[in-house]
């Protein structure tokens, strides 16, 4: 089979995503979000997310099939996020996928959400085939994860090189936006506020960059390829307090820009160095924070300077969606990977 037609289902958090791909060609990507219902709580409420998936699933599936002009009977396989994510939310998508696979007699692929974020960088809306380059790393930056990976094969060879030891990058954006009164979700809000701010106004800490943590290339320290973002939000909070305690207006745009510069600087510096030290010459970017304008800009600059070939998904495919799940599913079908059993469980803490 050359160009498998695959339906992808994503329900790990607040987005109900249904995507359809033919090989690497994206035919449909319909997303319904319950974010509006979570905003007032300042975070995703699992029970609300699961109920919203149940309501949105069928209309979103119908829209995707219509957009792609495909009948369910025509698809070659059904791919669904099996984890990580919110257990109840995952179960809605998995149960629906199992029902569809059983009724239509199609193979089911339960896939890893994190690997799907990476796979979508290779999916091309124009139908050009993008095979996985040799010696590839992936920088995965989302609301729950921040990891640098070596990717030998999307099917069965993904190895963790480094990760955050506390908050994920997206979590740091969300928490910092909340303390600056910029609302939820924080990533897009800080990205926008930072545009009018000075990124050099404050020098915020770059976590785990001291020699005692990093060591040297020859004698690496325990945290050479790891990040820490929890101290950063505390530093932003302290800086903001200094202004309020003296009766001055908080310079929100400067704080947002300086915070963002600290996150993006340490993310890109460590990711590029990890590639250089591990002999990796290509990098894929993925996850919700991959939508960030400054991250895209600085990573492109630093990869360019280091001779690393960078592949970045379009902004709309960075946050959670069904196309990324379908893209990974198509990759698995093409690679001849065995389908999942129909009793595959949801695994809320599935590692890469
Ligand atoms: O991958 P994703 O949609 O969901 C998870 O799997 O976690 O990522 C969501 C995260 C949130 O923390 C959100 O604030 C962040 O991605 N995000 C951004 C931007 N857009 C979304 N962070 C920085 N800049 C953005 N433009
Ligand atoms: Zn995600």
**Exposure b/e, 55-71, CB count within 10 A at least 16 = b:** ebbeebbeebbeebebe
pLDDT at residue 102 above 70? yes
- As a whole number of Å, the CA-based R_g of the chain is 20
Of 87, 222, 268, 236, give the one whose Cα is nearest residue 172: 236
- CA pair distance 5, 23, nearest whole angstrom: 7
At 129, the pLDDT band (50, 70, 90 cuts) reads low
Centroid of ligand 2 to alpha carbon of 85 (angstroms) = 8
Q: What is the pLDDT of residue 75?
A: 98
pLDDT over 70, % of the chain: 98
The region of weakest confidence among 124-128, 282-286, 292-296 is: 124-128
Q: What is the pLDDT of residue 236?
A: 98
CA-proximal residue: ligand 1, atom 10 (nearest): 143
pLDDT at residue 128 above 90? no
The pLDDT of 260-285, averaged and rounded, is 98
Query: What is the atom index within ligand 1 of the atom nearest the CA of 186?
Result: 14
Between the CA of residue 68 and those of 8, 19, 84, 181, 333, what are the distances in Å? Answer: 13, 9, 28, 41, 19
Beta carbons of 129 and 310 less than 8 angstroms apart: no
The pTM (predicted TM-score) of the whole model is 0.96
**Exposure b/e, 216-239, CB count within 10 A at least 16 = b:** eeeeeeebbbbbbbebbbebbeeb
Which are the contacts of 15, defined by CB distance < 8 A and separation ≥ 6? 31, 32, 33, 34, 35, 319, 320, 321
Dmax over Cα atoms in the chain, in whole Å?
A: 68
| DSSP 8-state class, residue 132 | P
Which are the contacts of 145, defined by CB distance < 8 A and separation ≥ 6? 84, 114, 163, 164, 168, 287
Q: Give me the chain's average pLDDT, please.
A: 96
Q: What is the pLDDT of residue 1?
A: 57
289 in contact with ligand 1, CB cutoff 6 A:
yes
Centroid of ligand 2 to alpha carbon of 198 (angstroms) = 29
The pLDDT of 66-75, averaged and rounded, is 97
Beta carbons of 327 and 24 less than 8 angstroms apart: yes
Phi-psi region of 211 (alpha: psi -120 to 50; beta: other; left: phi over 0): alpha
At 125, the pLDDT band (50, 70, 90 cuts) reads low
313 in contact with ligand 1, CB cutoff 6 A:
no
Q: What is the pLDDT of residue 131?
A: 81
Q: What is the pLDDT of residue 2?
A: 76
In the three-class reduction of DSSP (H, G, I as helix; E, B as strand; rest coil), residue 245 is classed as helix
CA-proximal residue: ligand 1, atom 2 (nearest): 288
The pLDDT of 131-148, averaged and rounded, is 95
Query: What is the atom index within ligand 1 of the atom nearest the CA of 174?
Result: 14
The pLDDT of 326-339, averaged and rounded, is 95
The pLDDT of 73-85, averaged and rounded, is 98
Beta carbons of 120 and 323 less than 8 angstroms apart: yes
At 126, the pLDDT band (50, 70, 90 cuts) reads low
**Token pair in block for residue 189:** 């809000």
Is 113 annotated for ligand binding?
yes
Q: Which ligand is nearest to the CA of 14?
A: 1
Domains recognised in the chain with CATH numbers: 5-125+317-334 (3.30.420.40), 136-313 (3.30.420.40)
At 123, the pLDDT band (50, 70, 90 cuts) reads confident
Q: Which of 141, 168, 187 to mutate to test the pocket of ligand 1 (most atoms within 8 A of CB)?
A: 187
H or E element: which one contains 282? strand 282-286
Centroid of ligand 1 to alpha carbon of 180 (angstroms) = 17
H or E element: which one contains 19? strand 15-22
Query: pLDDT tens digits for 10-45?
Result: 999 999 999 999 988 999 999 999 999 999 898 899
- CA pair distance 155, 138, nearest whole angstrom: 14
The pLDDT of 170-197, averaged and rounded, is 96
In the three-class reduction of DSSP (H, G, I as helix; E, B as strand; rest coil), residue 122 is classed as helix
13 in contact with ligand 1, CB cutoff 6 A:
yes
Q: What is the pLDDT of residue 24?
A: 85
Centroid of ligand 2 to alpha carbon of 152 (angstroms) = 21
The pLDDT of 63-92, averaged and rounded, is 98
Beta carbons of 88 and 50 less than 8 angstroms apart: yes
Is 174 annotated for ligand binding?
yes
Q: Which of 46, 143, 192 to mutate to test the pocket of ligand 1 (most atoms within 8 A of CB)?
A: 143
- CA pair distance 3, 76, nearest whole angstrom: 10
- CA pair distance 351, 347, nearest whole angstrom: 9
Q: What is the pLDDT of residue 42?
A: 87
**Token pair in block for residue 315:** 């902004």
Q: What is the pLDDT of residue 324?
A: 97
The pLDDT of 98-106, averaged and rounded, is 98
Q: What are phi and psi of 124, to 5 degrees?
A: -120, 125
In the three-class reduction of DSSP (H, G, I as helix; E, B as strand; rest coil), residue 50 is classed as helix
Is 343 annotated for ligand binding?
no
In the three-class reduction of DSSP (H, G, I as helix; E, B as strand; rest coil), residue 232 is classed as helix
Q: Which of 121, 173, 229 to mutate to test the pocket of ligand 1 (most atoms within 8 A of CB)?
A: 173
CA-proximal residue: ligand 1, atom 18 (nearest): 187
Which residue bears the tokens 């698809």? 75
Which are the contacts of 1, defined by CB distance < 8 A and separation ≥ 6? 76, 333, 334
Query: pLDDT tens digits for 217-247?
Result: 999 999 999 999 999 999 999 999 999 999 9
């Amino acid at each position: 089979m050359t160009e498998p037609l695959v339906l992808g289902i994503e329900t790990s958090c607040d987005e109900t995503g249904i995507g359809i791909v033919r090989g690497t060609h994206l035919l449909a990507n319909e997303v319904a979000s319950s974010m509006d219902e979570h905003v007032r709580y300042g975070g995703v409420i699992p029970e609300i997310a699961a109920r919203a998936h149940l309501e949105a699933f069928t209309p979103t599936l119908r829209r995707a099939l219509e957009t792609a002009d495909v009948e369910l009977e025509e698809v070659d396989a059904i791919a669904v996020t099996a984890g990580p994510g919110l257990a109840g939310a995952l179960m809605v998508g998995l149960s629906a996928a199992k029902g569809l696979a059983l009724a239509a007699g199609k193979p089911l692929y339960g896939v890893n959400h994190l690997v799907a974020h990476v796979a979508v960088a290779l999916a091309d809306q124009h139908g050009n085939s993008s095979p996985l380059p040799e010696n590839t790393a992936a920088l995965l930056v989302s609301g729950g994860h921040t990891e640098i990976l070596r990717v030998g094969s999307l099917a069965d060879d993904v190895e963790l090189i480094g990760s955050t030891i506390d908050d994920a990058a997206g979590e740091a954006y969300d928490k910092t936006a909340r303390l600056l009164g910029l609302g939820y979700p924080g990533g897009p809000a800080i990205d926008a506020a930072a545009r009018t701010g000075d990124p050099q106004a404050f020098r915020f800490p770059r976590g785990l960059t001291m020699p005692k943590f990093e060591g040297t290339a020859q004698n690496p320290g325990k945290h050479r390829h790891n990040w820490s973002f929890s101290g950063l939000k505390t530093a932003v909070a302290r800086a903001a307090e200094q202004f309020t305690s003296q009766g001055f207006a908080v310079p929100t745009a400067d704080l947002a820009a300086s915070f963002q510069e600290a996150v993006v600087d340490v993310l890109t510096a460590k990711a590029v160095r990890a590639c250089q030290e591990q002999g990796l010459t290509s990098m894929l970017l993925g996850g919700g924070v991959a939508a960030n304008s400054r991250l895209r800009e600085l990573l492109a600059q630093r990869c360019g300077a280091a001779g690393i070939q960078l592949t970045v998904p379009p902004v709309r495919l960075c946050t959670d969606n069904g196309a990324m799940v379908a893209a990974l599913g198509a990759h698995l079908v093409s690679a001849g990977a065995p389908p999942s059993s129909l009793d595959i469980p949801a695994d809320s803490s599935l590692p890469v």
